[in-house]
Structure 1
Amino acid sequence: MFTTFQLYCTGMIFILIWGLLLWAHYHGGVSSHHILADKDLPEISNWWGGLLLPLLTFFLLHRMKKRIMINKNQESQKSTIPVAIIYGFLSALIYGILLSVFFTLGYSDIPAYMLIGAFLLALFFPIYKAEYILGFVIGMTFTFGVVLPTGVGSILALIGAFLYLCIRTVMLYVISRLLFFRVSKR
């Protein structure tokens, strides 16, 4: 059941990204972005997004499917997509769209604060999971293409995994020990 959903989503993303690229081609040309916004570094064309985004979508949906199957103990019954995955995808999608809108409107400080704020969010939410990365990349695709958001999303995912799995765990342990000692003193 999820495999069919995965193929439909990948096909829909394929159609949408190629529609966006063709529209850009006939309305002024497909843009390119310099690596790290440095004119001395090579440019990456947004045409690469036509290949990268469908592959990324298929891969990340496959990761979600594996996680759902592990959580369901590979039951053969029809499974629905967990609400946490839907909320994670939608929240990251909105986050990416807002970041893009603020950047487009010229508020360059707000996107910088939003990226730093993602590290704070990583202490409370597992932003390293596939649904968050996919939502973030799709949300930023119209403004930045696919390659740049994929790179930024990958870096955020790596740092987010460290913060959520390591730092958060240590913080929760320390807090629980402090609360335990506080209660045991009474």
Structure 2
Amino acid sequence: MTETRFSRLSRYCTLLVTVAIWALLAWSHFHGGVPSHHFLAQQELPAVSNGWGGLLLPVLTWLLLSRIRQRVFGPTRADSDPTPALRRALYGFAGALLFGVLISGLFTAGEPDMAGNVMLGLFALAFFVPIYRPECLLGFVLAMTYTFGAVLPTIIGTVLGLIGWVVYGVIRRGLVYVGAKILQRLPATQ
């Protein structure tokens, strides 16, 4: 795929997300009103209307797809084949989408404790998989928008992404470096 085709596909995806969120908001409006969700599902905390998703989700989609395009087709990758990077981005998006569906499903089924435990498992996964990438945030937010609106998943996904960056990019890298230094100092057995 070329950068031009990816840019065109990004515009179509942004348009599709825009139409979908506004259709969902219109449907909600005519079927009982646009719902609001409280932070951490605590009534004493402020509520955020799903209506903000009509603005946030198209902008977020466009920004994250632009970041993916920069990473895959950027100047450092000008001579290389973008197919493996696009494939990794697609896998990251699909994995985050499935993870978001799982969390939403558990929460909707009345299992918020189980959903919390699954979220904790994400920190272990972050040691092996770069969950901080834009495709992961996009998949996570899109999967959870119907259940929680767009604002709360964006906030939670951003925080999880930052934690994932620290785990994968700092802690993991530090442990690999220390492990390599220890292995270099061991006497060679022959």
Using the size of structure 2 for normalisation, the TM-score is: 0.89
Matched residue, 2:22: 18
Matched residue, 2:9: 5
- Deviations along 1:80-127, whole A, 9 cap, x unmatched? 561100000000000000110011001122110111111111111110
Secondary structure of 1:184 counterpart = coil
C-alpha distance in structure 2 between counterparts of 1:178 and 1:78, whole Å:
36
More displaced, 138-147 or 108-117?
A: 108-117
Matched residue, 1:95: 99
Matched to 2:11, the amino acid is: L
More displaced, 52-61 or 115-124?
A: 115-124
User: Kindly tell me: are residues 163 and 57 of structure 1, through their superposed partners in 2, closer, same or farther at Cα, counting changes over 3 Å?
Assistant: same
In percent, how many aligned pairs have the same letter?
A: 44
Q: Which runs of 5+ in 1 are unaligned?
A: none
- Deviations along 1:44-102, whole A, 9 cap, x unmatched? 11000011000000000000000011276335x99556110000000000000011001
C-alpha distance in structure 1 between counterparts of 2:185 and 2:75, whole Å:
35
What are the within-5 Å matches in structure 2 for residues 33-182 of structure 1? Answer: 33-70=37-74, 73-74=77-78, 80=83, 82-182=86-186
User: Kindly tell me: are residues 164 and 23 of structure 1, through their superposed partners in 2, closer, same or farther at Cα, counting changes over 3 Å?
Assistant: same
C-alpha distance in structure 1 between counterparts of 2:184 and 2:139, whole Å:
39
Displacement of 1:185:
4.4
Matched to 1:67, the amino acid is: R
Secondary structure of 1:82 counterpart = helix
- Deviations along 1:7-51, whole A, 9 cap, x unmatched? 101000001111111111112211001233333333211000011
Secondary structure of 1:126 counterpart = coil
Matched to 2:95, the amino acid is: S
C-alpha distance in structure 1 between counterparts of 2:10 and 2:76, whole Å:
18
Q: Which runs of 5+ in 2 are unaligned?
A: none
Displacement of 1:183:
6.3
Secondary structure of 2:128 counterpart = coil
Give the superposed CA RMSD.
Answer: 2.0
